[in-house]
Structure 1
Amino acid sequence: MTAITRLALAAALTIGAALPATAAAPNGVWELNTKDTRFALQLCGDGTQLCGQLVWLSDADYNEQYKPYLNKPMATALRPDGANRWKGKMQLFGHSFQGTITAHSDEHMTMSGCAFLVVCKTYEMYLVAP
């Protein structure tokens, strides 16, 4: 194998290792790692945007205040922002923020966002129903 061929092969392997695994479309019901909140997410708009709504809250006492947000949109037309990643304005429990949802696998995503550019939070989300 020539030096150029070895170099090209090494570069291809390095780039391939750096790319995220391809995840399936995020359609389904996703539960936060806190196990008290679930969102239904689906591709929408032109088929590349992401939309979602709050569909379930646990019976925990603190969730009583969030019941008015059940079945209300939490994400409308988040735009693609790289492979398996959507970014845009979200609504969560009456608060607006700029956020990102990133699919890491068919069953795992993260939702990150900042309100007022200083209050930031990241949640792990797991698929509970396709």
Structure 2
Amino acid sequence: MPRFSRLIAALVLACAAAMPAAASPAGVWELETRDTRFALDLCGDGTQLCGELVWLSDADYNDQYKPYLNRPMAQALAPTGPGKWKGTLHLFGHRMSGTITQHSENHMTLSGCAFLVVCKTYQMYRHAP
């Protein structure tokens, strides 16, 4: 029986070593449209997600969003699973119930709904300066 326990322990350690470390959501993320960037970081107890709008392209339609620059877009979103956070988002003057899901080191999805009927999903990619 001790030999079986050692075998199981060795398998668990081997599997843990082979699994990639969870990528941090911390960094600057750009919407797929390449006209908006958000800075995200873990906050609160270290498992919650916070973020703010940090950059807008110089496209004319972005003038209306300039008042939201350097303002929070997510405050203490609660983790709901590995790489997934849920809570209230503040996007471009709209308050939404939303979810941010990290799919890989460099890809996230931001989904939000206002009034439970107007919903939008954005693909976000890690911005490399």
The TM-score range, normalised by the shorter chain, is 0.7 to 0.9
State the one-letter code of the partner of 1:74.
M
Say whether 1:87 aligns with 2:86.
yes
Give the whole-Å Cα distance in 1 for the aligned partners of 2:111 and 2:59.
Answer: 23
Give the whole-Å Cα distance in 2 for the aligned partners of 1:24 and 1:116.
Answer: 32
SS of aligned partner of 2:25? coil
State the one-letter code of the partner of 1:38.
R
Give the whole-Å Cα distance in 2 for the aligned partners of 1:43 and 1:24.
Answer: 12
Say whether 1:119 aligns with 2:114.
no
* Length-normalised TM-score, structure 2: 0.82
* Aligned CA-pair RMSD: 1.4
Instruction: Give runs of aligned pairs for residues 1-130 of structure 1, distance below 5 A.
Output: 23-129=22-128
Give every structure 1 segment of 4 or more consecutive aligned residues whose post-TM-superposition deviation is greater than 4 Å: none
1:54-75 per-position Cα deviation (integer Å, ceiling 9, x unaligned): 0000010000010010000000
Q: Give unmatched runs, 5+ long, in structure 2.
A: 1-19
1:23 Cα deviation after fit:
3.8
SS of aligned partner of 1:81? strand
Which structure is higher in RCO with an 8 Å CA cutoff and minimum separation 6? Answer: 1
1:85-105 per-position Cα deviation (integer Å, ceiling 9, x unaligned): 000001011100000000000
1:25 Cα deviation after fit:
1.4
Q: Is the 8 A contact 1:22 1:84 kept in 2?
A: no
1:129 Cα deviation after fit:
3.9
1:39-62 per-position Cα deviation (integer Å, ceiling 9, x unaligned): 000000000000000000001000
Give the whole-Å Cα distance in 1 for the aligned partners of 2:46 and 2:24.
Answer: 10
State the one-letter code of the partner of 1:115.
A
